[in-house]
Amino acid sequence: MRRHVQAALLLLTGSAVLHISVLSQVYLRYVKEGLRPFLVASAVLLLLLGVVGAVRDGLPFAPRRTAGEETDDERTADGQAADDERTADEHQHAHGHGRGHGHGHDSGPRVAWLLFLPVLALLLYAPPALGSYTAARETDNAVARVAEFDPLPEADPAPLALSGFIARVQQDRDRSLAGRTVLMTGFVTPAKDRAGTWYLTRLVVSCCAADSRSLRVRVHGAPAPPADTWVTVTGTWHPGGGGALGTATAPVAIDARTVRRVEEPVNPYQDTTPLLP
């Protein structure tokens, strides 16, 4: 890969990162919100390196000299280049090789051209967030221990994040969910063990999409919408055949009363409490 192409690649990469982190919120499909300043700083650095490389290698927007003007450094460089060429010719002649059989050299491997593909993808195509395919293969429902639960909201239904619902089912010995209608938002993940059964799901990240973990609540009493559809589910805790509320063996499931389709949130990896309709 020639140097001017390397400079162009740096400029394109910096522009792409700046586009997804400043001009849009696509970056939230890759990393958590707190990493935005670091993305912006990286983009600016890449752009500066690209401009420096372009000016150094004489791209069209680099400073031009008057025709016929030649600096002392260039004259010295031309003389050195001529000496190097004569030395190379003598070396090839001594080894029985003509000039036409010399080995070509490039400033980088050809595979580096493939770097243009992800850069163009960032500029021209916004990939979807991770969904049901990933959620079905992740370790799920790893929620933090809660020392003391706040009272549930007085609203009916009570809006809850999936992590809050799961924690109350498994840890709340006061059984605050008993008899309460709750409202939660997530996307649909079909169950692999039984046809027609599905989960209300969230993927949450600690740093980036690569470390995502799944939060899942099995839904009973409603047909499964298409996979990856974002929905709001209203219902009550489903007791099933497991343990009682507030124990680790309690089933994390809900008896759905209503299932309503909603738009995908701007930040799909943040487990937030839904707004009441």
Structure token digits, residue 91: 């070396």
pLDDT of residue 50: 80
- Of all residues in the chain, the percent with pLDDT exceeding 90 is 27
pLDDT of residue 112: 61
Going by pLDDT thresholds of 50, 70 and 90, the confidence category of residue 189 is very high
**Plot region of 141 (φ>0 → left; ψ -120 to 50 → alpha; else → beta):** left
Q: For residues 186 and 74, which has the higher predicted lDDT (pLDDT)?
A: 186
Q: What is the mean pLDDT of residues 28-48?
A: 81
Going by pLDDT thresholds of 50, 70 and 90, the confidence category of residue 62 is very low
- Of all residues in the chain, the percent with pLDDT exceeding 70 is 73
Spatial CB neighbours of 243, under 8 Å, sequence gap ≥ 6 = 249, 250, 251
The answer to whether residue 96 scores a pLDDT higher than 50 is no
- Of 2.60.40, 2.30.29, 2.40.50, 2.40.10, which CATH number belongs to 132-261? 2.40.50
CB distance 214 to 135 below 8 Å: yes
Q: What is the mean pLDDT of the chain?
A: 78
The answer to whether residue 231 scores a pLDDT higher than 80 is yes
CB distance 261 to 225 below 8 Å: yes
Task: Say what the pTM is.
Answer: 0.67
The answer to whether residue 78 scores a pLDDT higher than 90 is no
The answer to whether residue 105 scores a pLDDT higher than 90 is no
Whether residue 268 has a cis bond before it, omega within 30° of 0: no
The answer to whether residue 23 scores a pLDDT higher than 70 is yes
Question: What backbone phi and psi angles, to 5 degrees, belong to 141?
Answer: 60, 35
